[in-house]
Structure 1
Amino acid sequence: MEQEVDDRNDAVGYSTDGDVAVVTIANPPVNALGYAVRSGIVAALERAAADPAVKAVVLTGAGRTFSGGADITEFGKPPREPGLSAVIRHCESLAKPVVAAIRGVALGGGLELALACHARVAAPDARLGLPEVKLGLLPGAGGTQRLPRVVGPEAAVEMIVTGTPIAAAKAATLGLVDGIVEDDLVAGATAHARALVESRQTPVPVRDREDRLAATRRDPSAFEAKAKQLTQRTRGLEAPLACVRAVRMALDTPFDEALSRERALFTELLDGFQSKAQRHLFFAEREATKVAGVGREVTPRPVARVGVVGAGTMGGGIAMTFANAGIPVTLVEMNREALERGLGVIRKNYDLSVARGSLGEQERDRRLALITGSTRYEDLAVADLVIEAVFEEMAVKKEVFGRLDRIARPGAILASNTSYLDIDAIADATGRPADVVGTHFFSPANVMKLLEIVRGRRTAPDVLATLLGLAKRIGKVPVVVGVCHGFVGNRMLAARSAENEALLLEGALPQEVDRAFTDFGFPMGPFAMGDLAGLDVGWRNRKSLGRTAVIADALCEAGRFGQKTGEGFYRYEAGSRRPEPDPWVEALIAGKARERGIERRPIAAEEIVERTLYPMINEGARILEEGIAARPSDIDVAWVDGYGFPVGKGGPMFWADHVGLATIVERLDDWHGKTGRELFAAAPLLRRLAADGGSFAALGRKAGAGA
């Protein structure tokens, strides 16, 4: 191959292989389509068009990927021409065939660019998708119009609304790629380009293809049913609905007009609060992996095998998490009966996945084979990481860690899945406190994304580095937090929940409080969540701390533990998880209010939000003051990925800036004056930021600069 690199633009290479020009995007790490890449592609295409010796073009990416899409750092900045749409027009209108050679990923703008080519071939491991919806956007460079013309409207709307990339094999089945090249990708693409030239057929741009639209135009019912199904899962989010509107335009709107309207929808979303919130979370998850004292010079410890102590709900879910990632696990229980029960639940969970079609039988068997059950602590001696997941009692945990200290190999990491307890006190039960850390998984552990990594006073930097890397390996989003009761998430949850009983006694019903939360965007309200988790769990915890809860304790004393008993704050018909309001509970609440001389009154949703979410934000400010969380954005990640805070609001601290910190302080002061409860006393940091016109976002930028 004759290699001629265009030295005017290092971001895009140009070479020739006989009569085929090879244009290579070279903008590591993901070949993002920034200004230098866009201008380089246009220059390369113009060069190929002007060269009579060039009969076709192959467009590919350097390194291990085609293109991860738009350069997200350019969002919100003045646009620089050529934009991606202009690049696509150059590609699409070239009189010579252009073949995209896709390795790694073609995502977002990367796939939109590939769709502008006259053909596409892919390596077997390639993944293709339009994930803009996850940033609160839609594909803004023609993706909603070109993809339906290639794969059909039903497949296109599913790809665009879910934002989930598809594998090369599925892309070939859908017709998104014309072939899979096993060996030399560029050579295969070059051969495909020559075949197009030799066919002497004029390349047909995707924009002019109408055959995949015809059937849906005649009968759009399947498309509309698919769109309805997809958007039912995205409660309160604007982008999925906009995606459906845009794809629907492929059926009833001329192409160029549809492109213009697609761009207008994109711009509307880009300027909206929800997309700003979702883009904030995108960067926040990446920022959360940057931890003071854990730089690139810190070498993680190898983790080839994991041990888990406790085969209950959490322990079993944690074992599944590692098995799902291909990591062998030894699961230890106190006796054979408890062990078999835990292993049975794991098997049942995998069988359900097989029945739903989300997991194949062979893969289920492979994962199950990675989990070894045992009743002997000695079998944990080979583990590189041991995670304790036993009862949430300090004495029990100290006993477990004392045993692990005697058994675990030197250098093994000893982790506790505690939700509340002092990691430093747990570490005192060992002679190796530097190896001790908290790993707070969220239930169900094999599903929930968040992993709170609790940094003890003596936790070694390489332990943190190991867990940060391991979190990515097992598909979790890590947030490193400090030691206090409840850490970040549960400490703020306690503040959010503190007024729940008072709201009931003063006049709200459980369904009214829960509706305020679901209308806000939470997937479930606190009382329905309590029934799901089991009211007896909180009851035991309160009794151990010498605390009470008037309504919840009365329910538990009556044997109403939630869904597991068919009755809690709600009642549940046999076999149903649907909460139904219960007059018995309403009478109980009214009776408890009379006993305390409380005159009940209607309580609006706005008041419910103020008395629950504002104290939670206030507690977040205290957590930041104490250094328990490094950044406000870390708190946002924890609450979105672990507690269901709506992604369209960006997390509690981001949302607080949107509401206005001065407004929140004013309302806290008002409630503090009315109730005298310390819960509403504004944190000094929150009051200072409000007085100075500051924000949590600015505080986060300062923290980032300091790091």
Structure 2
Amino acid sequence: MARRVSVQRREGVALVTLEGAATGPKDCGFDPALRRALDAALSEAFATPGLQAIVLRAGPGGWPCGIDPAEDYSPDQPTLAALCARLLQASVPVVAVLSGTISGGALALTQVAGLRLALAATRFHCPEAGLNLLPAAGGTVRLVRRAGGAALEALLSGRVLDPAQAMALGLCDAVASEGTIETAALAEALRVAALGPEAPFSPREGALADPGAALDALAAARARHSARIDLPAIARIAEVAEAALLLPLSAALDVEAVAFDDLSRSDTAAALRHLARARAAAQQLAAVPTEGVAPVLRVALWNPSAAQTEALLRRGLSVQICTTAPEALARLLTGIARAQEQAVAAGALDPARRAADWARLDPVAAPEAFGPTDLVIAKPVSLEERDRLRRALPAGAVLALSGTAPGPGELGIDRSQRFAAIWAATPERLADLPRLAAVLRAGGMRVLHARALALRLEAAWLCAADRCVLAGAAPQAVDAALTRWGFAEGPFARAARLGA
């Protein structure tokens, strides 16, 4: 069986290589077996005669990243916190080479390294708040002590960050290319080793230089998320962040550990973790590939959300938007602008990049005003509106419909929160599914190639209602019975609203 962590020696440097996400157990992060292997590898590395530095890196696919970050923080020995402490107490410089997705255990471990060099394709993510958890093993405390209020924004928003955004938070120190990153890591490790232990790479606790300003920024970030009362983790993360700025490191780490233990035992965390695993499992059953897919550069959206639009703009797409009601378009533009302002204030979006994103946004007054585009993704509110969108479809564009059945040559979308099932109404459009999947994923959705399960269930529901009427029940009585039972609306009321 292949070793999950290997050690090589080169010019007085121990290169500790963790198995990559592409070669290790699927969807496993820092599970107990990997932590034991890393612990043994560190012991081997520290025993190297004439050791001058340690370089941590990962194999193909990047650093291990699991579906459930709570598994990274399990109490099985050695704990992730203990491994972080070993690296922090190392008598030689520690350099981390970052690749893949840095999240959970990888985020905690790499924060204790003296220098972090990232590949341009590396992404950073703190998903814990959305699972009613917080980054543990020092992940929350150390990030806040580095970046103050901006760190809290990253922890609470759950946004995926690129290396430039991560550098603003102190999550990485520099970006290097695939061909030069290992050489740069070795050179920097040896350079600092030659300067001695009093030559740190970068300040680990920059926010503590001005704790008053850091606390003010923390309060502002906390206020922006004060309305999110659905997840107890929001308040607990803010409390831990405050402790990180006010208490000694060891005491702040104790506060973080207690908060994580409390949150991980909650029913909310258990339910959200189960949902995350179920979604990942469902996606693996029939996922739509995106590799080798011709990129979509232009998209038109009918009745989109501000979050979806802003996410597509940040991915570099040109986006046209339109809504059923003119006042809804004004609210949509305001929501997009507000989201961009918050991202700029948090340091997650450069002002110049924001201006470029806004320049690629084109609001239009009617579907007939849509210009050339690759995809039109629409959520019509009536059959008349759907037919109007079909008539106004720009030449060469593909129409993807949500909330109504697609016709020949069209694509269908079933949405549930941040999960989307897509399908082609006719075989000739199957080749367009990967392109639609790429756009939806760029907008933050998880995507599954499906067979219109929701619409099939709805059709069966309507047929059952018709059978009730044939048996002598009044349509109003059927609607009343089903709404009392828990449906948002009755089948006949829904059919009337849709014009059927």
The verdict on a shared fold, with TM-score over 0.5 as the criterion, is yes
> Shift of residue 53 of structure 1?
3.1
Structure 1 residue aligned with 2:412 = 438
- Provide Cα deviations, 1:457-515, integer angstroms capped at 9, x if missing partner: 8796555455334321343344677669x959xxxxxxxxxxxxxxxxxxxxxxxxxxx
Tell me by how many angstroms 1:350 deviates. 6.9
Query: Structure 1 residue 392 and structure 2 residue 377: aligned?
Result: no
Aligned residue for 2:223, secondary structure, equals helix
* Alpha-carbon distance, 1:137 to partner: 0.8
Alignment of 1:42-191 (within 5 A): 42-68=39-65, 72=68, 75=71, 79-149=75-145, 151-181=146-176, 184-191=180-187
- What is the alpha-carbon distance in structure 1 between the residues aligned to residue 306 and residue 227 of structure 2? 27
Query: Could you say if the C-alpha distance between residues 42 and 365 of structure 1 is closer, same or farther in structure 2, counting changes exceeding 3 Å?
Result: closer
Q: Give the greater-gyration-radius structure (CA).
A: 1
Instruction: Give the counterpart of 2:436 among 462, 467, 487.
Output: 467
Paired with 1:682 and 1:623, the residues of 2 have a C-alpha distance of: 15
CA distance in 2, matches of 1:316, 1:204: 43
Task: Specify the alignment match of 1:667 in structure 2.
Answer: none
1:289 is paired with a residue whose SS is helix
When residues 368 and 74 of structure 1 are mapped into structure 2, their CA distance, relative to the original with a 3 A threshold, is closer
Instruction: Tell me what 1:492 maps to.
Output: none
* SS of equivalent residue, structure 1 residue 234: coil
Matches within 5 A, 1:438-457: 438-439=412-413, 453=422, 456=425
Match of 1:415 among 368, 379, 400: 400
Q: Distance in 2 between matches of 1:40 and 1:306?
A: 47
Kindly state the Cα deviation for residue 263 of structure 1 after the two structures are TM-superposed.
Answer: 1.9
Output aligned runs, 1:173-572, within 5 Å: 173-181=168-176, 184-201=180-197, 212-213=207-208, 215-216=210-211, 222=216, 225-226=219-220, 228-289=222-283, 302=294, 304=296, 308=300, 325-327=315-317, 357=344, 360=351, 364-365=355-356, 368=359, 385-387=375-377, 392-394=382-384, 397-398=386-387, 401=390, 413-417=398-402, 419=403, 421-423=404-406, 427=407, 433=408, 435-439=409-413, 453=422, 456=425, 461-478=430-447, 487=455
| Structure 1 position 680 matched with structure 2 position 484 | yes
Structure 1 624/134 Cα, relative in aligned 2: closer, same or farther at 3 Å?
Answer: farther
The residue number in structure 2 matching 1:14 is 7
SS where residue 475 of structure 1 aligns? coil
Q: Indicate the SS of the match to 1:100.
A: strand
Query: What does the per-residue CA deviation read over 1:277-298, in whole Å, with 9 as the maximum and x for residues that have no partner?
Result: 3223423443453566x777x9
SS of the residue 2:54 aligns to: strand
Q: How many residues align?
A: 462
1:33 matched to 2:23: no
**Structure 1 pair 373/125, CA: closer, same or farther in 2 (3 Å)?**
same
The Cα offsets for residues 593-626 of structure 1, whole Å up to 9 and x where unpaired, read as xxxxxxxxxxxxxxxxxxxxxxxxxxxxx76987
1:20-41 Cα shifts (integer Å, max 9, x gaps): 1111122323883223332222
Residues 33-70 of structure 1, C-alpha deviations (whole Å, 9 max, x = no match): 223332222222111211113221111122353453x6
- Structure 1: how far apart are the matches of 2:341 and 2:161? 22
Residue type at the aligned position of 1:46 = S
Counterpart-to-counterpart distance in 1, 2:221 and 2:309: 36
Q: Is the 8 A contact 1:326 1:367 kept in 2?
A: no
> Residue in 2 aligned with 1:517?
none
SS in 2 for 1:677: helix
Q: Cα gap change, 1:257/1:457 in structure 2, threshold over 3 Å: closer, same or farther?
A: same
The structure-2 alpha-carbon separation of the partners of 1:26 and 1:627, relative to structure 1 and needing over 3 Å to count, comes to farther
Aligned partner of 1:416: which letter? L
Counterpart code for 1:438 = G
Residues 300 and 463 of structure 1 are in contact (CA less than 8 Å); yes or no, is this contact kept in structure 2? no
- Give unmatched runs, 5+ long, in structure 1: 1-7, 428-432, 443-447, 489-621, 629-674, 684-707
1:271 CA drift (Å):
1.3
SS in 2 for 1:94: coil
Residue aligned with 1:201, SS: coil
What SS does the corresponding residue of 1:158 show, helix, strand or coil?
A: helix
Q: Relative to total residues, which structure has the larger helix share, 1 or 2?
A: 1
Q: Is the 8 A contact 2:7 2:44 kept in 1?
A: no
How far apart, in 2, do the equivalents of 1:134 and 1:180 lie? 28
CA-CA distance at 1:383 after TM superposition: 5.9
Q: Whole-Å Cα distance in 1 between the matches of residues 257 and 199 of structure 2? A: 26
Once residues 110 and 56 of structure 1 are traced to their aligned partners in structure 2, the CA distance between those partners, rounded to angstroms, is 19
**Cα-to-partner distance string for 1:572-611 (whole Å, 9 max, x where unaligned):** xxxxxxxxxxxxxxxxxxxxxxxxxxxxxxxxxxxxxxxx
Displacement of 1:329: 6.6
Mapped to 1, the partners of 2:40 and 2:64 lie a distance apart of 18
Change in CA separation of 1:249 and 1:487 when aligned onto 2, cut-off 3 Å: same
Q: 8 Å contact 1:323–1:371 — kept in the other structure?
A: no
The one-letter code sitting in structure 2 at the alignment partner of 1:245 is E
**Correspondence list, 1:500-649, <5 A:** none
CA contact (8 A) 1:34 1:71 kept: no
| In structure 2, C-alpha distance between the alignment counterparts of 1:98 and 1:199, rounded to whole Å | 14
**TM-aligned CA deviation for residue 205 of structure 1:** 11
Aligned amino acid, residue 400 of structure 2: A
User: 1:362-386 CA deviation, whole Å, 9 max, x = no partner?
Assistant: 6545664586989998998x86545
Over 3 Å counting, the alpha-carbon distance change for 1:393 and 1:165 in structure 2 is closer
- Can you list the C-alpha shifts for 1:254-288, whole angstroms capped at 9, x where unaligned? 44344334222212111101212322342344345
8 Å CA contact 1:306–1:384 kept in 2: the answer is yes
Distance 1:168 1:157, change over 3 A: same
Cα distance in 2 for partners of 1:258, 1:677 equals 55
Q: Unaligned stretches of 5+ in structure 2? A: 464-478, 488-500
1:680 deviates by 3.2
**Partner secondary structure for residue 243 of structure 1:** helix
Distance 1:351 1:53, change over 3 A: closer
Query: How far is the alpha carbon of 1:238 from its aligned partner?
Result: 0.9
1 CA distance for matches of 2:480 and 2:391?
44
How far apart are 1:250 and its partner, in Å?
Answer: 2.9
What is the Cα deviation at residue 17 of structure 1? Answer: 1.9
> Within 1, Cα distance between the matches of 2:310 and 2:204?
46
Partner of 1:263, secondary structure, is: helix
Distance 1:248 1:174, change over 3 A: same
Report the secondary structure of 2:283's partner residue: coil
Alpha carbons of 1:118 and 1:331: their partners in 2 closer, same or farther (altered >3 Å)?
Answer: closer
Q: Give 1:253 shift.
A: 4.1
Q: Distance in 2 between matches of 1:77 and 1:95?
A: 25
Q: Percent identity?
A: 22
